[in-house]
């Protein structure tokens, strides 16, 4: 039996309110790595979007390398494919490639630039054949952009790409006006596979089913990704994919592992990873969902309650303080004071990873504050008049300025309501 742990969409280095989530991401991923070691998996698979941006920081890369190094020390093979957020950054910047030659466990980092940089001893064709054991053949197909996909098709010497530009494809004798280049390339690859292989593909794709409309034809992309029809994978035993953060299954064999944590505090899906056993009786898939949360959301009924949380906030989670407030029946000055009091209260907590949000209809800014920033903002707000707040809102939200006539009208209204 061969055991895989499949995860995806780590988005290392993601930020919220200008602050990096990396310290909290690392703690959760360390738990996931320990789970892989305890379960004695043979392969640890990351199906794309390892980083949140194509130019990760040195700290982002260090976190990835330290996690994979721990797996490698425990003789676990590693497969990481690039996603649309990664580009060609994996094989360009990682120092892990050489380690696979110094140990028994393999480390394969495969992105869209892999074929050009692969040595002659490795497969240089996408998808890459990773291993074949116990009657199963596992392949890896990273995210590729339209230009790379067109180059792959042209390298085959076929005229399918040209037919696609006319809006028609004659694959399997049928016209298909909305087949993407990637879909066409994968169909051709699947047709060339040996008929007796139990093929499993690890990839990073956008299912056509989640695309609301394809009327734009072959140029249609979502998130710069070319959609692939779920039926394209019908001949394969299973496809394990990244890109969708929520765990879900399409057709009978397309599995999205989902992200190991929420990537925004409003997310409601169950994060986790898949453990896949390739045995003599077929596939057995288990969802691992006992990972610690990344966010801790605390609801407050009034801004002054923030002060009571001093020295009690969890240090291993990103804290979201949500203040339940309403502007109904309140004056602008009262709303102004609510915002100031909340910021002042949080500034006294001494935590650099706290986000203030409002659950009611109070027109307050949503921003993350360090202790020093909160004090500065409080002092700035104290100098604002209601008219200043209105002018700032119009300038920042509508990229416009109030006219002299509008200012005069507002001043008259404010004076009449006693808020000048």
Quote the distance between the C-alpha of residue 381 and its chain's center.
35
Q: Please state whether beta strands 15-16 and 238-242 pair in parallel, antiparallel, or not at all (unpaired).
A: unpaired
Q: How is residue 295 written in tokens?
A: 């966010």
Question: Given this model, what pLDDT does residue 60 score?
Answer: 93
Average pLDDT for runs of 10 along the chain of length 420: 97 86 96 97 97 90 94 95 84 61 78 60 71 94 89 67 43 50 94 92 91 44 72 96 94 95 91 96 94 89 72 81 67 65 66 67 50 56 72 70 84 72
For 352-400, the DSSP string reads: SSEEEEESSS-----EE--HHHHHHHHHHHHT--HHHHHHHHHHHHHS-
pLDDT per residue as tens digits for the range 171-209: 443 434 456 899 999 999 999 999 888 999 999 999 988
Residue in the structure block whose two tokens are 């098709």? 153
Domain residue extents for the chain: 2-288, 295-384
- Dihedrals φ, ψ of 338, to 5°? -60, -45
d(CA 298, CA 388): 31
Question: Given this model, what pLDDT does residue 69 score?
Answer: 92
By the 8 A CB rule, do 44 and 71 touch? Answer: yes
d(CA 108, CA 119): 12
d(CA 205, CA 201): 11
Question: Given this model, what pLDDT does residue 196 score?
Answer: 86
By the 8 A CB rule, do 149 and 221 touch? Answer: no
Question: Given this model, what pLDDT does residue 173 score?
Answer: 39
CA-to-CA separations, 309 to 40, 129, 304, 326, 371, in angstroms, rounded: 41, 53, 10, 22, 14
* Class level of CATH domain 2-288: alpha beta
Question: Given this model, what pLDDT does residue 18 score?
Answer: 74
Query: What secondary structure letter does DSSP report for 142?
Result: -
Contacts 24+ apart (CB under 8 A), 269-273: 269/245, 272/247, 273/5, 273/6, 273/7, 273/32, 273/35
Q: Which residues contact 409 (CB under 8 A, 6 or more apart)?
A: none
Q: Which of 365, 388, 359, 387 is nearest to 377 (CA)?
A: 365
pLDDT per residue as tens digits for the range 300-344: 777 677 777 777 778 788 888 777 766 565 565 666 676 667 666
Q: Which of 279, 208, 308, 241 is nearest to 48 (CA)?
A: 241
pLDDT per residue as tens digits for the range 278-305: 999 899 999 999 999 999 888 877 767 7
- Dihedrals φ, ψ of 129, to 5°? -80, 115
Mean pLDDT over each residue of the chain, to the nearest integer: 79
By the 8 A CB rule, do 59 and 12 touch? Answer: no
pTM recorded for the entire structure: 0.78
């Amino acid at each position: 039996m061969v055991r895989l742990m499949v995860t995806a969409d780590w988005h290392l280095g993601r930020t919220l309110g200008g602050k990096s989530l990396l310290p909290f991401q690392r703690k959760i991923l360390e738990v996931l790595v320990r789970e892989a070691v305890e379960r004695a998996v043979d392969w640890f698979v990351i199906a794309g979007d390892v980083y949140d941006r194509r130019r990760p920081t040195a700290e982002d890369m260090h976190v990835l390398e330290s996690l994979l190094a721990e797996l490698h020390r425990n003789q676990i093979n590693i497969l990481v494919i690039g996603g649309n957020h990664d580009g060609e950054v994996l094989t360009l910047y990682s120092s892990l490639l050489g380690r696979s030659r110094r140990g028994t466990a393999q480390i394969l980092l495969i992105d869209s630039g892999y074929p050009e940089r692969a040595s002659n001893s490795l497969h240089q064709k996408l998808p890459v054949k990773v291993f074949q054991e116990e009657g199963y053949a596992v392949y890896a197909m990273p995210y590729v952009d339209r230009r790379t996909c067109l180059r792959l098709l042209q390298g085959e010497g076929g005229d399918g790409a040209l037919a696609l530009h006319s809006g028609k494809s004659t694959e399997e004798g049928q016209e298909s006006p909305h087949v993407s280049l990637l879909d066409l390339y994968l169909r051709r690859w699947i047709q060339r596979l040996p008929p007796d292989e139990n093929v499993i593909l690890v990839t990073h794709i956008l299912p056509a089913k989640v695309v609301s409309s394809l009327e734009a034809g072959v140029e249609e992309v979502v998130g710069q990704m070319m959609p692939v029809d779920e039926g394209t994978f019908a001949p394969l035993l299973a496809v394990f994919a990244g890109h969708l953060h929520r765990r879900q299954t399409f057709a009978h064999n397309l599995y999205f592992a989902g992200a190991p944590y929420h990537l925004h505090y409003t997310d409601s899906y169950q994060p986790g990873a898949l453990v896949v056993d390739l045995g003599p009786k077929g596939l057995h898939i288990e969802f691992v969902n006992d990972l610690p949360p990344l966010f801790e959301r605390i609801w407050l009924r009034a801004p002054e309650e923030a002060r009571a949380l001093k020295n009690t906030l969890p240090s291993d989670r990103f804290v979201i303080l949500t203040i339940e407030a309403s502007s109904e029946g309140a004056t602008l000055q009262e709303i102004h004071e609510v915002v100031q009091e909340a910021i002042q209260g949080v500034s006294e907590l001494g935590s650099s990873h706290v986000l203030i949000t409002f659950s009611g209809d109070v027109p307050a800014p949503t921003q993350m504050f360090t202790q020093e920033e909160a004090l500065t903002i409080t002092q700035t707000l104290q100098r604002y008049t209601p008219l200043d707040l209105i002018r700032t809102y119009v300038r920042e939200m509508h990229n416009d300025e109030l006219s002299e006539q509008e200012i005069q009208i507002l001043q008259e209204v404010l004076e009449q309501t006693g808020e000048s």
